């Protein structure tokens, strides 16, 4: 029986007489698109339960130092360095789906040791084991993610990517909202670390389910280049336009990760927010993303991803860090406004970077290019997170604690300011990128103003 199944599987990979594989049907495309949204439901619950406020709070409850907090928030990105190996293996196998499923499943179940971690280990070892679990999970999930991106890039028609991923992002944002609320309420109500452990076990089970759901997806039988490992590693960097896309993504990721590991600790320790309040922030963001994600998807399909990224990266660089810095324990209004700004800007930067990556790669070489993208941005994110802890400790010196305009300036404010200055320079790196049919940012804003003026004129008697 096994031998027969193996032969059938191998026969399904045989090209036709022209040397190409039979194309995926329209019915298979629509079915896989629907399944992709459904698979994302347990998948996003896994992400909520193993990242963000949950894992940062868990690390704080284990007694992690600022340096360890920076590592915990970024070391998972280091696993992306091995994603070219996954691309190479996919080329050897001639398929991405089986390897993607196995890696995604391993990336989920590796979290099970954290359930018993606080009970069996001495306090000084607990953060180290947590770092180990996060590293292994990042290694497996990053490699699976590269294969999934390449795979879905071949499934989703290029003219529909913006709308589809906008719809998928906004739909899963609602699920993430509910998961965040449930996790936050549970952690606030149950003694720690038990509350964290319950969230982690539920998230891990749901994550394993989402990995197994990938089995039902259809993989287009696109020929996978069987290059040697060195070619897989180096070939993407020979493409000038891909290097430009990569430079922007690397710089942006580093700039964001300089501050990202300490946003949640700032909310918890400086602003004295509860986990439920932090979960409410995610609710605000998810509800706003329901509007913004599809909107940006339509805009990207119309004007291109490049001008959209130029516009929203400036907003994410300036208004978002400012909203954090203006808040106080007695005045959280800027934080609530920041959730709106975050949803407005980062739904666009996330979608735009993803779509720009897909549009800058050819289908037959996409896996290698996506793996190179993940590896380099992962390294940049890790280095940014690695730097964040020492930077925070430097600005913890009393000489940097100042009061101005009624605000107490802390080490967190200095960290956010440095990140904001770095982010604000990123839009320059988008200018040299070529995107077929994309408008310039000036043209996008000018047409928007023209359309607004025409609407006003049409209403005049």
pLDDT digits (tens, 9 = 90+) for 313-342: 999 999 999 999 999 998 999 999 999 999
- Distance between CA atoms of 185 and 183, rounded to whole angstroms? 6
CB 88 within 8 A of CB 367: no
* pLDDT at residue 458 tops 80: no
Q: Is 63 left (phi over 0), alpha (psi -120 to 50) or beta?
A: left
Least confident of 69-73, 159-163, 384-388, 422-426: 159-163
Which pLDDT score, from 0 to 100, does residue 8 have?
Answer: 29
pLDDT in tens, 61-85: 888 888 888 888 888 888 888 888 8
pLDDT band (50, 70, 90) for residue 451? low
β-bridge partners, 404: 407
Structural domains of the chain, with CATH: 30-432 (1.20.1250.20)
* pLDDT at residue 396 tops 60: yes
pTM for this entry: 0.73
Among 390, 392, 422, 423, smallest CA distance to 410 is for 392
pLDDT in tens, 106-156: 999 999 988 777 777 888 888 888 889 999 998 899 889 888 988 888 888
β-bridge partners, 328: 331
CB 345 within 8 A of CB 316: yes
Which pLDDT score, from 0 to 100, does residue 250 have?
Answer: 94
Non-local (6+) Cβ contacts of 151 within 8 A are: 96, 97, 100, 217, 219, 220
């Amino acid at each position: 029986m096994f031998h027969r199944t193996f032969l059938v599987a191998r026969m399904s990979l045989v090209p036709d007489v022209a040397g190409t594989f039979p194309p995926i049907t329209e019915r298979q495309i629509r079915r896989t698109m629907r399944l992709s949204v459904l698979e994302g439901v347990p998948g996003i619950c896994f992400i909520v339960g193993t990242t963000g406020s949950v894992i940062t709070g868990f690390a704080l409850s284990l007694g992690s130092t600022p340096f360890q907090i920076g590592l915990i928030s970024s070391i998972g990105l280091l696993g992306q360095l091995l994603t070219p190996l996954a691309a190479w293996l996919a080329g050897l196998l001639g398929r991405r789906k089986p390897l993607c499923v196995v890696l995604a499943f391993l990336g989920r179940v590796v979290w099970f040791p954290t359930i018993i971690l606080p009970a069996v280990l001495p306090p000084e070892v607990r953060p180290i084991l947590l770092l180990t679990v996060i590293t292994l999970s990042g290694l497996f999930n990053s490699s699976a993610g590269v294969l999934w991106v390449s795979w879905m890039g071949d499934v989703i028609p290029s003219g529909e990517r913006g709308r589809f991923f906008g719809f998928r992002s906004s739909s899963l944002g609602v699920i993430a909202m509910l998961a965040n609320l449930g996790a936050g309420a549970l952690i606030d109500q149950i003694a720690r670390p038990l509350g964290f452990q319950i969230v982690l076990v539920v998230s891990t089970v749901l994550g394993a389910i989402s990995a197994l759901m990938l089995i039902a997806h259809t993989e287009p039988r696109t020929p996978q280049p069987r290059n040697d490992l060195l070619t897989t590693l180096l070939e993407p960097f020979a493409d000038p336009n891909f290097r430009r896309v990569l430079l922007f993504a690397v710089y942006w990721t580093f700039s964001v990760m300089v501050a990202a590991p300490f946003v949640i600790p700032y909310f918890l320790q400086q602003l004295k927010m509860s986990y439920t309040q932090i979960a409410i922030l995610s609710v605000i963001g998810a509800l706003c993303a329901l509007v913004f994600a599809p909107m940006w998807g339509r805009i990207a399909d119309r004007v291109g991803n490049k001008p959209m990224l130029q516009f929203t990266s400036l907003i994410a660089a300036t208004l978002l860090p400012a909203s954090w810095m203006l808040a106080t324990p007695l005045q959280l209004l800027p934080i609530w406004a920041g959730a709106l700004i975050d949803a407005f800007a980062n739904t666009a930067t996330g979608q735009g970077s993803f779509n720009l990556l897909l549009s800058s790669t050819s289908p037959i070489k996409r896996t290698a290019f996506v793996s190179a993208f993940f590896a380099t941005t992962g390294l940049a994110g890790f280095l940014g997170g690695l730097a964040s802890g020492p930077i925070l400790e430097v600005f913890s010196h009393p000489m940097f604690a100042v009061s101005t305009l009624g605000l107490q300036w802390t080490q967190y404010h200095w960290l956010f300011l440095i990140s904001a200055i770095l982010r604000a320079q990123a839009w320059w790196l988008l200018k040299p990128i070529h995107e077929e049919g994309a408008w310039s940012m000036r043209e996008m804003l000018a047409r928007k103003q023209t359309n607004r003026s025409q609407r006003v004129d049409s209403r005049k008697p």
